[in-house]
Amino acid sequence: MLRFIWAEDEASYIGYQGRLPWHLPADMKHFKELTSDHVIVMGRKTFESFPGLLPKREHVILSTSPILQREYQDNPRVKIFSQIEQLRNWLGNHSNEIIDIIGGARLFEEFKNDVDVLQKTKIHHLFVGDTKMSDINYDDFKLFNIEKHSADNKNEFDYDFLEYKRIKK
């Protein structure tokens, strides 16, 4: 099962200069809860935005970087694919698992017709951004769960956690 996990602002921005444009601790906690003990799939830029390997997760990275490939070639928690078709084949062999695609925009675009579940954090604010979320046809999905949250002393912005499940392919 393929699941997208991402956060976006009111204009659908998901990134700015290789980073998240916001700091929202509740979203980081939610991301950790969703992805722990799962495979997370990402592009090189998303991977490089992390402080290091995330605990309790297997990292699958799409990258042509020979430096990255050499650095992680012996690490059992990291798989690197240099071509999208290699990644697609690998995902096909793991279809019984929950596989979390977490970014970037190219991977969201590539797999938007294959994804089964959408886990979106909608941040009710406009940020400066340079990367937008792929256009998803929400007519193919049903909203199954929504959790509305107000800003508080740790989270500066109102936000919602939304879960959609595909109803038709």
The mean pLDDT value for 27-40 works out to 97
CB atoms within 10 A of CB 57: 17
Domain coordinates of the chain in residue numbers?
A: 2-166
- pLDDT higher than threshold 90 for residue 63: yes
Query: Alpha helices of the chain — where are they, by DSSP H?
Result: 25-35, 44-48, 66-72, 84-92, 105-111
Does the 2-166 domain belong in CATH 3.40.430.10?
A: yes
Average pLDDT for the chain: 96
Q: Does the model's pTM come out above 0.85? A: yes
Give residue 169's pLDDT. 64
Residues whose CB is less than 8 angstroms from the CB of residue 69 and which lie 6 or more positions away in sequence, other chains included: 63, 80, 82
The percent of residues in the chain predicted with pLDDT above 70, rounded, is 99
- pLDDT higher than threshold 70 for residue 67: yes
The mean pLDDT value for 89-110 works out to 95
> Exposed, middle or buried, 110 (CB in 10 Å: 0-12/13-18/19+)?
middle
What is the DSSP track for 111-134?
A: HTTT--EEEEEEESS----SEEPP
